[in-house]
A and B are shown apart, each in its own frame.
Chain A
Amino acid sequence: MKARLRFVKLGEMQYIGHLDLMRYFQKLFRRSGLYMSYSKGFNPHQIMSFASPLGVGLTSIGEYLDISLESLGEHTESEWIDIINARSNGLILVTAFMIMPDDTKPSMSLLGAASYRVELFSEDAVKDVERFFYGNESIVYIKETKKSKKEIDLRKEIPILSADYNVFSDEMSKICIYDHDYEKKYIDAGEKGCIYMLCRAGSVLNIKPEMLFDIYGKITGYQIMRLDMLSGEDKYVSMSVG
């Protein structure tokens, strides 16, 4: 049985790296008594995969974890959420527990975009970034790997960018299906000093908000929160929408 969990990673949990987070979930699921499926072999491990690793220093309200279950046992999905969260630390919390059809592809392979909020802690800085972004027809980021050098045009790869949450969510509604009410529980729409953006994502090309700030320079000490992850190419559907 396959299941997809949405979870949040808040506050100081931003300092926990991806591999440690994986180990955290393994122990959390054991404490909770979830009927996880295990791989075969001498050192069996729980079958799980994340939609996309979250870097150290980022918080999130839109992480996704695919797991394999033997069964749900005596509890419903929502009961499991309560059981798991009661055994977690208050900062890593499961917010959705969805049973998926057996032929569901891993969320990792479906990933097409991710939305973010970047706190810049300064209204002036926010205006400057907006001006920089919309004032240039193309913003080229050079991604260097050991093997290759690739030019990425951030103007194309970041379909939405706004300092106004309401503008951002209007734009989002035009091309995305996602759980707006969920987001509003964590986001204060009136908060100043933040930039919201939707970035294309995926295994081949993964656009991160940091790329834009790398080019723009001048700003340090910003705090990024991932809001959601979505599948699709030009029109997107949140992974929380099945």
Chain B
Amino acid sequence: MDRKLALERNILMSVEKPARYIGNEINMVKKDLNDIDIRFCMCFPDVYEIGMSHLGIQILYDMFNKRDDTYCERVYSPWKDLDEIMRRENIPLFALESQQPVKDFDFLGITLQYEMCYTNVLQVLDLSQIPLFAADRGNDDPIVIGGGPCSYNPEPLADFFDIFYIGEGETVYDELLDLYKDMRNKDYDRHEFLRKAAMIEGLYVPSLYSVEYDANGLISSFEPIYEELPHKIRKQAATDLEEYYPKNPLVPYIKVTQDRAVLEIMRGCIRGCRFCQAGMIYRPLRERNADYLKSLAGEMIDSTGYEEISLSSLSSSDCSCIKEMVYYLIDEFSDKKVNISLPSLRIDAFSLDVMSKVQDIRKSSLTFAPEAGSQRMRDVINKGLTEEIILSGAMDAFKSGWNRVKLYFMLGLPTETYDDIEAIAKLAESIAEEYYTIPKEERNGKVNIVVSTSLFVPKPFTPFQWVSMNKAEEFTDKKGFLMSKIKEQLNQKSIKYNCHDSEVSVLEGVFARGDRRCAKVIYSAYKKGCMFDSWSEFFDAGKWEEAFLENDIDPSFYTARERSTGEMLPWDFIDIGVTKEFLIREYENSKKAVVTPNCKEKCSGCGASSYLKGGCRF
């Protein structure tokens, strides 16, 4: 194996965790570059340990490398220490497999999992020595493609990308690569290629669309610049989920966030929580077959040697094969000393039974995500969890020996009042009181309740895409209020409170519903040194504030402003299957606190069934 590392030994020895940059992990794909027509570099714009934990990249890595003419490699954000060295010494960013510069690749695909990685996208482009703005790139620069959940509103990043792939990668990438291979052979012209690529369903080429604004700064028109181009970009959803799956996933040397084999048991969610973007964009629900999953589980454990396997999905309790799968894994793997890491399951007899089998009850905790404290608020967000269910679930668990409870809530939900917030404290108290109704001799020490609140950020393609988001000061007030209410409870000593940072959430809110004008702000903030914004030790609210001021952009235009349902939204050109009429209907229902049944109870005609031959069937 003749593979020279891109970084000299003295550099590797001077940075934290040099293993982040050497590649050659178990199951890394090796190909001879002489046999390759297309070089695709897949990027997760965050540190290696985060990026390596992402299942989506592993699925695409497997898919691309199944093509004989394509070599898919990986790159992650160099950590700050290496970032500084690479800038100082002018070392181009390289892919882990071949250790060769990313700028020499044909494609650079960047997955956009959260808004706070946007400055890291610029970091990756910059270190790769690829022009930051798509308009400045030439025939020899890689085609930069964005994908992942944030590409459902790609507009804040429109200036930096050549193409956005809207939806799940399994469907039209082949078509794109075939087109490229075909055109690259002749007198290749980047612009011509992009123009053709824009004709492929699901691909959005931002430079080929122009946006106009009215006097109030609202979008007045969004049009393709060539006649032949589609006005709407149709989200891609895979219908065959058994074609690509990494049977030999990469096994990192260093400990990463998700240090286990992951089985994605289904895609989509039947619940329809109104704040949840994933619940809408991944519709319709598609389940994998249990037999397929079982054989995958065995192959993955054999090929990786992982000592842990986990099941993943948005709402595993709703998966029709969940019991079968969990009991299968326990039977099959407990002798082989493979731990089963359970997905978040609804607390009921089944989940308590399996939890007691695979976890140490004294060390593990019960997790509930009521998301809101009061029943009214839960009805507004369509979270079908009642206080009764929570209390009886908790009681069953307490009787079986658990004494730790984690509760997840959101602050700043639409129509929220201070009573709704106080209800969070009261719910935690009720759970504690429930615990102390158990006779002392039967209790397992003190109860331990952790309340966590995240801050609600309205997202595109949800029934809340029009609502006003709270300002940082409001969030801070609400957090303080909740803290004081928790302190008033009888069992306050048993209740711990954790909360999110307000400024980061507000920034997330800007980019979640931002438009093309936000690109300037991201660029300025990056130039000021912002990077790794999702890491609290690096997030610099002051620099972001300056970036907004300098570009004369008011963040509250994007966050606090309530939109009318008639307004043209930056992401309206994307068709996710779920119709705007449905979202408006759900928005109206939320105002009346009317609950909508889940897909298994009753179809609400959201529109997503158009992806399935024969529609949604349960």
Contacts and interface: CB of A to CB of B under 8 A. Distances in A.
Nearest to B360: A42
A27 to B, nearest CB: 3
Nearest to A31: B305
Contact of A44 (B5, B12, B337): B337
Measured as residues with beta carbon below 8 angstroms from the partner, the interface class of chain A is 20 to 34
A96 B253 CA distance: 23
Contacts, number: 58
B24 A12 contact: yes
Given A20-B254, A90-B1, A27 B304 contact: yes
A24 interface: yes
Nearest to B13: A57
A87 to B, nearest CB: 8
Contacts of A43: 339, 360
A12 B337 CA distance: 30
B100 to A, nearest CB: 16
Contact of A16 (B5, B253, B339, B359): B253
Interface in B8-32: 9-10, 12-13, 18-19, 22, 24, 26
A3 to B, nearest CB: 18
Interface string A194-223: 000000000000000000000000001101
B305 A30 contact: yes
Contacts of B5: 12
A207 B254 CA distance: 28
Contact of A27 (B1, B307, B337, B363): B307
Interface string B225-258: 0000000000000000000000000010111000
B251 A27 contact: yes
A220 to B, nearest CB: 8
A134 interface: no
A29 B305 contact: yes
A23 to B, nearest CB: 7
A26 B18 contact: no
A38 interface: yes
Interface string B37-57: 000000000000000000000
Given A12-B22, A27-B305, A89-B24, A20 B255 contact: yes
Given A28-B305, A31-B303, A90-B1, A15 B22 contact: yes
B13 A24 contact: no
Nearest to B301: A30
Interface string A81-92: 000000101110
B76 to A, nearest CB: 16
Contact of A221 (B10, B24, B251, B304): B10
A56 interface: yes
Nearest to A23: B255
Contacts of B304: 27, 31
Contacts of A27: 26, 251, 304-307
B243 to A, nearest CB: 25
A26 B307 contact: yes
B9 A20 contact: no
A57 B11 CA distance: 11
A41 to B, nearest CB: 9
Interface in A48-106: 56-57, 87, 89-91
Contacts of A91: 24
B117 to A, nearest CB: 26
Contacts of B546: none
A130 B386 CA distance: 79
Contacts of B339: 43
Interface string B297-326: 000011111110000000000000000000
A150 to B, nearest CB: 27
Contacts of B18: 15, 56
A89 B253 CA distance: 11
A89 B23 CA distance: 11
Nearest to B15: A15
A112 B359 CA distance: 42
Nearest to B336: A30
A19 to B, nearest CB: 8
B335 to A, nearest CB: 11
A26 B305 contact: yes
Given A12-B24, A20-B19, A223 B9 contact: yes
Query: 4 smallest A-B Cβ distances: which pairs?
Result: A27-B305, A30-B305, A31-B305, A15-B18
Given A27-B305, A221-B9, 6 more contacts: A15-B19, A17-B19, A23-B255, A26-B307, A42-B359, A57-B13
26 contacts: A12-B22, A15-B19, A15-B22, A16-B253, A17-B254, A20-B19, A20-B255, A26-B307, A27-B251, A29-B305, A30-B301, A30-B306, A30-B336, A31-B26, A31-B305, A43-B360, A44-B337, A56-B13, A56-B18, A57-B9, A87-B305, A90-B1, A91-B24, A220-B10, A221-B10, A223-B9
